[in-house]
């Protein structure tokens, strides 16, 4: 059977619009300070953690709902500092990052009663990282029979829970049993 191609040309609009790197930090450039990553800017932005959908903050890392989720409850766990390389994290950042990943998986399971969780890291643009200047771990709830390929086939994402509702559900679980970091 010849190789079949399944085109997802809609992704090019997302990839080119979602890529906000340090070079787009005009505020820092104007002030003559080092440019910040998109995630550093989110962390430092005005507004409450609820407004920014930050689920938890640690000393070195934080947990954020993905604004462009694969499914409801899709979390990102990342260091506060914009670091692209896993091997360049400090020992404290590394330890807290993986503790928060474990806590995030527990929280996702408790908040959404999902059947499983995908956990993954894309290191570098070639690995698929649209925000490759600031490493982040994806924690994605999954259900047996969920809409795995609808994004590719129908150019649609099925998100039964809003970001605000997902944030409330995750925060409620998180507050009930805070992470041991």
Distance separating alpha carbons of residues 133 and 126, to the nearest angstrom: 12
Query: 155 near 83, Cβ under 8 Å?
Result: no
From the candidates 53, 136, 138, 167, which is the catalytic residue? 136
Tokens of 89: 């994290």
Listed residue (115, 18, 154, 7) closest to 76, CA to CA: 18
Task: Confirm if 160 and 169 have CB atoms less than 8 A apart.
Answer: no
167 is catalytic: no
- In sequence order, which residues have a C-beta less than 8 Å from that of residue 75 and are 6 or more positions away? 55, 63, 64, 65, 66, 104, 107, 108, 138, 139, 140, 170
Active-site positions read 136
């Amino acid at each position: 059977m010849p190789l079949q191609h399944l085109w997802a040309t809609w992704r090019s609009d997302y990839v080119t619009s979602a890529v906000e790197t340090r070079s787009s930090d005009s505020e820092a450039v104007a002030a003559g300070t080092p440019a910040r990553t998109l995630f550093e800017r989110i962390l430092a932005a005005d507004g409450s953690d609820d407004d920014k959908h930050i689920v938890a903050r640690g000393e070195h890392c934080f947990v954020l709902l993905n604004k462009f989720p694969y499914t409801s409850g899709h979390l990102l766990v990342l260091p506060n500092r914009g670091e692209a390389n896993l091997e360049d994290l400090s020992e404290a950042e590394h330890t807290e990052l993986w503790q928060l990943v474990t806590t995030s998986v527990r929280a996702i399971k408790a908040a959404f009663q999902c059947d499983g969780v995908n956990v993954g890291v894309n290191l570098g643009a070639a690995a698929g990282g649209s925000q490759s200047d600031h490493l982040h771990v994806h924690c994605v709830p999954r259900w047996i029979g969920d809409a795995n390929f609808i994004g590719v086939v129908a150019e649609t994402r099925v998100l039964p829970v809003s970001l605000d509702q997902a944030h409330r559900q995750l925060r409620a679980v998180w507050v009930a049993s805070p992470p041991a970091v």
